[in-house]
């Protein structure tokens, strides 16, 4: 499953359970530099934003960039997704490395067509990271705006889900209790 | 300070424990109901589509606590620690009401053959398929009691496959939604027997609670108007109203306390402030769900029970199963989505039994109303998973699909099991459940057959494209978990007797789906309620005869 944080009990890994031990500590990111993000460095943020937009591109409706899926992921990496910090740090580096190797530039600097090529490779070569960011991008695009993505409910408008949440069509028609 | 001694200590305020609490408290016994989770209310609906009990990508809404309750999972990929919001954990909610606080609330009676699977189908190689020691007729009066006391709506009169019943359902069905109207004539054209889904959901005001308002936030959420029915808003308040029952939430039970003779004298638990407590009682009733009930028994060690209480013959924790859910989705060339909850509305039981060459089957019904992110699981396998095409499919198809699925009855497996892990402990230092095993291949064969019927239904209804979603072979658990403390007459091949009392110790009962020998091709909640009423009745008979009083 893409969302798994299963912790395999390999040799040498202590079986003692401590929830906090699972998330890795702050990597090279954290809050340093001029990053607008909570977890990502500015460069990482650009890369993730570009990956998200590849996964849900703008067409006649807004894509993941406008929905701020990257903001959703960045926020969650300080909360429910702390356990995926290492995977993101390494996964983003792998995407930029693959991009540099193939086209000589960072992923975010490539034209869309070339980004698609790189990401198609990544889907196979870094499958675990790809599954993670695929699921998270979908959540950030289609999920509830309260979590930092789906800005202005763009995806809900796209598919036509009524908003604000109606309180049940028959709520006011039912006889009162008692 | 020692806690005041009580007659009955019930561990777990879910489907089973809630009913037992009400029955015992009403009969005048003093009762303490321990629940490891919290007591939520209608105000906890929150409508959070990424954090609820069904979609758990940002965590469970109703427990158990994500960071305190690991389990160990053993599968093809090895041995690993899993957390409550992850697949493989086999979670059921931990709160007052248990799974019934946030479930879909389908209210099925099993049929006669569901209690006689071995007699009906013979030996299935590799499975511990067996008959229950009781039959449908033993449960029928208690099904009726559960339907009346908790409240069931629907209209099952057109279900020609149901077992004999003395009364109809106490509430009419909800008005049909669009999917119902599409699927009803199609099923009839196929010669099948569609009817209105029975549900523990008020369609009219009932028992002081209002009717369903048909909103979108149903399965996995707290019901915002308290119209969906669980033990938290029926039998548990009724138990409290007697003045004989106390509910203690956030209380994690460590073990059952046993005296020198091996009789239970109460339980040891950690209260909400992590203080260690001992609560003595004449009777202990274990109602923690199939995984945690087995874990509690296995964590209860004694000179007389070195391998765990009730586990003399190594049956505690065995036969963990639930349901295998095959599904088919159909794409229509018009809008099928009408934004009217709960969505699930129409069912057939034509394929529960009598399928050629197959040992059982399952009920089929349309799926509950979906939220946008949930639709990701319904995109067909031929659509690319990302990029323009995927987005375009979601935009086009979100309101134009119908999904039909059903709980296929599983072939229990001796090696699908709950153990306690020798190394890993939870927040309180209690050894955690260790899950291992798989589905029986015949279960998957039945699921393929049932998926085909779901697809046929959609095609007949006019779907322009259909596709199936088939479950994998990994272990089943989750909300419908069952089987780990099998009910039977032979102590060598079961854990509890027909009254749900441990063979080993006469003042400990297990009353939840753990005792299910097999789990029917239906959602199990109503059967858990009915069996809890029945077991409580027999417990009280024994109590009045002073057979269990210490």
Instruction: Tell me the whole-structure pTM to 2 decimals.
Output: 0.94
Tally the residues of chain A.
178
pLDDT single digits (tens) B179-200: 999 999 999 999 999 999 999 9
What is the DSSP secondary structure assignment for residue B41, as one 8-state letter?
A: -
Q: Would you place residue A64 in the very low, low, confident or very high pLDDT band (cuts 50, 70, 90)?
A: very high
Q: How far apart are CA B18 and CA B316, in angstroms?
A: 23
Strands (E), B63-141: 71-75, 78-82
3-state helix, strand, coil in chain A (%, to 5): 55, 0, 45
Q: Token pair for residue A137?
A: 């991008």
What are the structural domains of chain B?
6-544 (3.50.50.60)
CB contacts of B79 in chain A (<8 Å) are: 8-9
Q: How far apart are CA A5 and CA B249, in angstroms?
A: 29
Share of chain B above pLDDT 70, in %: 99
Burial class for A13, CB neighbours closer than 10 Å (0-12, 13-18, 19+): exposed
**Which residue would you say has higher pLDDT here, A34 or A101?**
A101
User: What does the DSSP assignment read for B126-186?
Assistant: T----B-SS-HHHHHHHHHHHIIIII-EEE-TT-TTSPP-SS--SBPPPPP-HHHHHHHHH
* Phi, psi (rounded to 5 degrees) for B363: -70, 150
Q: Would you place residue A34 in the very low, low, confident or very high pLDDT band (cuts 50, 70, 90)?
A: confident
Q: Which of A54, A128, A123, A121 is nearest to A90 (CA)?
A: A128
Q: Would you place residue A65 in the very low, low, confident or very high pLDDT band (cuts 50, 70, 90)?
A: very high
CB contacts of A57 in chain B (<8 Å) are: 387-388, 391
Say if B86 is an interface residue toward chain A (CB within 8 Å).
yes
Q: Would you place residue A162 in the very low, low, confident or very high pLDDT band (cuts 50, 70, 90)?
A: confident
**In this complex, do B215 and A134 lie within 8 Å of one another by their Cβ atoms?**
no
Q: Token pair for residue A51?
A: 């990956």
Q: Would you place residue A103 in the very low, low, confident or very high pLDDT band (cuts 50, 70, 90)?
A: very high
pLDDT single digits (tens) B248-265: 999 999 999 999 999 999
Q: Distances from the Cα of A128 to the Cαs of A3, A88, B25, B116, in angstroms?
A: 10, 10, 52, 45
- Listed in sequence order, the DSSP H helices in B317-417 are 388-397
Handedness of CA B415, B419, B422, B425 (dihedral sign): positive
The side-by-side arrangement of strands in the sheet containing B346-348 is B153-155, B195-199, B346-348, B364-366, B401-405, B327-331, B465-469
Q: How far apart are CA A109 and CA A100, in angstroms?
A: 10
Q: How far apart are CA B250 and CA B496, in angstroms?
A: 28
Mean pLDDT of B317-336: 98
User: What does the DSSP assignment read for B195-255?
Assistant: EEEEESB-SS-BTTB------S--TTS--TTS-B--GGGTHHHHHHHTTSEEEE-S-EEEE
CB contacts of B426 in chain A (<8 Å) are: 17
A3 pLDDT more than 80: no
Q: How far apart are CA B491 and CA B160, in angstroms?
A: 37
Please enumerate in sequence order all residues whose Cβ is within 8 A of that of B241, keeping only pairs 6 or more positions apart, or say none: none
**In this complex, do B213 and A168 lie within 8 Å of one another by their Cβ atoms?**
yes
Say if B430 is an interface residue toward chain A (CB within 8 Å).
no
b vs e for B466-502, b when ≥16 Cβ sit within 10 Å of the residue's Cβ? bbbbebeeebbbbbbbbbbbbbbeebeebbbbbbbbb
**In this complex, do B386 and A160 lie within 8 Å of one another by their Cβ atoms?**
no
What is the DSSP secondary structure assignment for residue B387, as one 8-state letter?
A: S
Q: How far apart are CA A3 and CA B15, in angstroms?
A: 29
Handedness of CA A137, A138, A142, A147 (dihedral sign): negative
Among candidates A9, A76, A165 on the partner chain, residue whose Cβ is nearest the Cβ of B47: A165
Q: How far apart are CA B148 and CA B155, in angstroms?
A: 14
B209 pLDDT more than 60: yes
Interfacial A residues in 43-102 facing B (CB < 8 Å): 54-57, 59, 61, 63, 76, 79-80
Q: Would you place residue A164 in the very low, low, confident or very high pLDDT band (cuts 50, 70, 90)?
A: low
pLDDT single digits (tens) B105-124: 999 999 999 999 999 999 99
Task: Give the angle B503-B509-B515 at the CA atoms, nearest 5°.
Answer: 80
Residue with tokens 């499953």: A1
Q: Which residues pair with B280 in a beta bridge?
A: B266
Among candidates B66, B78, B391 on the partner chain, residue whose Cβ is nearest the Cβ of A57: B391
pLDDT single digits (tens) A115-156: 999 999 999 999 999 999 999 999 999 999 999 999 999 999
Question: What is the predicted pLDDT for the residue at B1?
Answer: 63
Question: What is the predicted pLDDT for the residue at A166?
Answer: 58
A178 pLDDT more than 50: no
- Listed in sequence order, the DSSP H helices in A8-162 are 19-22, 42-55, 64-67, 69-76, 85-103, 112-125, 127-142, 154-159
Say if A18 is an interface residue toward chain B (CB within 8 Å).
no
* Phi, psi (rounded to 5 degrees) for B520: 65, 170
CB B339 within 8 A of CB B368: no
Lowest mean pLDDT among A10-14, B92-96, B511-515: A10-14
CB contacts of A11 in chain B (<8 Å) are: none
pLDDT single digits (tens) B452-506: 999 999 999 999 999 999 999 999 999 999 999 999 999 999 999 999 999 999 9
Q: How far apart are CA B297 and CA B508, in angstroms?
A: 10
Looking only at the bridges linking them, the beta strands covering B417-425 and B153-155 are unpaired
Question: What is the predicted pLDDT for the residue at A163?
Answer: 73
pLDDT single digits (tens) B284-305: 999 999 999 999 999 999 999 9
Say if B340 is an interface residue toward chain A (CB within 8 Å).
yes
pLDDT single digits (tens) B390-410: 999 999 999 999 999 999 999
CB contacts of B341 in chain A (<8 Å) are: 168
CB B73 within 8 A of CB B88: yes
**In this complex, do A171 and B225 lie within 8 Å of one another by their Cβ atoms?**
yes
Burial class for B22, CB neighbours closer than 10 Å (0-12, 13-18, 19+): buried
**In this complex, do A178 and B79 lie within 8 Å of one another by their Cβ atoms?**
no
Please enumerate in sequence order all residues whose Cβ is within 8 A of that of B365, keeping only pairs 6 or more positions apart, or say none: B106, B197, B344, B345, B346, B347, B348, B404, B405, B406
CB pairs under 8 A between A and B: 152
Question: What is the predicted pLDDT for the residue at A30?
Answer: 45
Question: What is the predicted pLDDT for the residue at B545?
Answer: 77
Q: Token pair for residue B54?
A: 């069904």
CB B215 within 8 A of CB B1: no
B440 pLDDT more than 90: yes
Q: Which residues pair with B466 in a beta bridge?
A: B330
Q: Would you place residue A17 in the very low, low, confident or very high pLDDT band (cuts 50, 70, 90)?
A: very low
Among candidates A15, A159, A169 on the partner chain, residue whose Cβ is nearest the Cβ of B398: A159
Question: What is the predicted pLDDT for the residue at A176?
Answer: 47
Q: Would you place residue A14 in the very low, low, confident or very high pLDDT band (cuts 50, 70, 90)?
A: very low
Share of chain A above pLDDT 70, in %: 73
CA dihedral B148, B154, B155, B160 (to 10 degrees): -90
Q: What value does the mean pLDDT of chain B take?
A: 97
Question: What is the predicted pLDDT for the residue at B506?
Answer: 94
Question: What is the predicted pLDDT for the residue at A26?
Answer: 43
């Amino acid at each position: 499953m893409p969302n798994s944080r299963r912790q395999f009990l390999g040799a040498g890994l202590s079986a003692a359970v401590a929830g906090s031990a699972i998330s890795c500590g702050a990597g090279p990111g954290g809050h340093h530099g001029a990053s607008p993000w909570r977890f990502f460095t500015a460069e990482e943020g650009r890369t993730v934003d570009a990956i998200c937009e590849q996964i849900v591109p703008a067409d006649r409706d807004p894509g993941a960039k406008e929905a701020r899926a990257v903001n959703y992921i960045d926020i969650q990496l300080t909360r429910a997704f702390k356990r995926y910090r290492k995977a993101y740090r390494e996964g983003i580096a792998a995407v930029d490395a693959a991009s540099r190797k193939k086209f000589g530039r960072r992923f975010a600097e490539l034209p869309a067509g070339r980004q698609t090529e790189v990401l198609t490779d990544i889907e196979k070569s870094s499958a675990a990271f790809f599954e993670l960011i695929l699921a998270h991008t979908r959540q950030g695009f289609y999920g509830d705006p309260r979590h930092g993505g789906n800005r202005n409910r763009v995806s809900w408008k796209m598919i036509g889900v009524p908003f604000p949440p109606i309180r049940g069509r028959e709520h006011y028609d039912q006889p009162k209790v008692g | 300070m020692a806690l005041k001694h009580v007659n009955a200590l019930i561990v777990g305020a879910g489907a089973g424990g809630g009913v037992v609490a009400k029955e015992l408290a009403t009969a005048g016994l003093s009762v303490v109901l321990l629940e490891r989770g919290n007591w939520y209310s209608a105000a906890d609906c929150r409508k959070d589509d990424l954090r609820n009990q069904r979609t758990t990508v940002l965590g469970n809404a109703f427990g158990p606590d994500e960071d305190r309750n690991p389990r160990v999972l053993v599968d093809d990929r090895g041995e690993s620690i899993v957390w409550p919001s992850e697949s493989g954990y086999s979670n059921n909610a931990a709160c007052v009401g248990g799974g019934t606080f946030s479930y879909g609330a389908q209210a099925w009676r099993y049929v006669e053959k569901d209690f006689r699977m071995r007699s009906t189908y013979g030996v299935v190689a590799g499975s511990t398929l067996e008959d229950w020691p009781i039959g449908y007729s033993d449960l029928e009066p208690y099904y009726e009691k559960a339907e009346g006391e908790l409240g069931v709506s629907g209209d099952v009169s057109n279900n020609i496959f149901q077992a004999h019943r003395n009364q109809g359902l106490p509430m009419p069905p909800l008005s049909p939604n669009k999917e119902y109207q599409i699927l009803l004539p199609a099923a009839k054209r196929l010669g099948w027997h569609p009817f209105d889904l029975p549900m523990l959901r008020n369609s009219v005001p009932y028992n002081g609670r209002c009717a369903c308002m048909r909103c979108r936030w149903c399965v996995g959420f707290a019901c915002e108007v308290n119209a969906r029915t669980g033990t938290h808003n029926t039998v548990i308040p009724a138990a409290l109203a007697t003045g004989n029952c106390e509910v203690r939430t956030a209380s994690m039970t460590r073990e059952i306390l046993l005296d020198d003779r091996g009789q239970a004298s109460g339980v040891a638990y950690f209260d909400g402030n992590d203080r260690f407590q001992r609560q003595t009682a004449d009777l202990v009733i274990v109602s923690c769900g199939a995984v945690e009930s087995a874990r509690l028994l296995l964590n209860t060690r004694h000179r007389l029970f070195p391998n765990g209480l009730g586990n003399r013959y190594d049956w505690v924790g065995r036969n963990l199963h639930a349901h295998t859910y095959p599904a088919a989705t159909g794409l229509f060339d018009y809008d099928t989505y009408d934004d009217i909850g709960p969505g699930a509305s129409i069912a057939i039981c034509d394929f529960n039994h009598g399928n050629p060459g197959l040992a059982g089957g399952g009920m089929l019904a349309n799926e509950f109303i979906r939220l946008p992110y949930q639709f990701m699981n319904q995109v067909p396998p031929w659509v690319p998973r990302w990029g323009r095409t995927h987005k375009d499919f979601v935009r086009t198809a979100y309101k134009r699909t119908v999904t039909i699925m059903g709980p296929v009855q599983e072939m229990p497996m001796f090696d699908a099991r709950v153990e306690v892990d020798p190394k890993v402990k939870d927040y309180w230092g209690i050894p955690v459940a260790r899950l291992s095993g798989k589905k029986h291949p015949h279960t998957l064969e039945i699921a393929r057959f049932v998926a085909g019927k779901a697809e046929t239904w959609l095609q007949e209804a006019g779907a322009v494209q259909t596709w199936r979603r088939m479950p994998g072979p990994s272990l089943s658990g989750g909300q419908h978990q069952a089987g780990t403390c099998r009910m039977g007459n032979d102590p060598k091949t079961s854990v509890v007797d027909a009254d749900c009392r441990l063979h080993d110790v006469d003042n400990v009962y297990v009353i939840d789906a753990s005792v299910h020998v097999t789990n029917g091709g239906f959602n199990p909640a109503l059967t858990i309620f009915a069996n809890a009423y029945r077991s409580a009745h027999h417990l009280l008979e024994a109590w009045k005869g002073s057979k269990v009083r210490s």
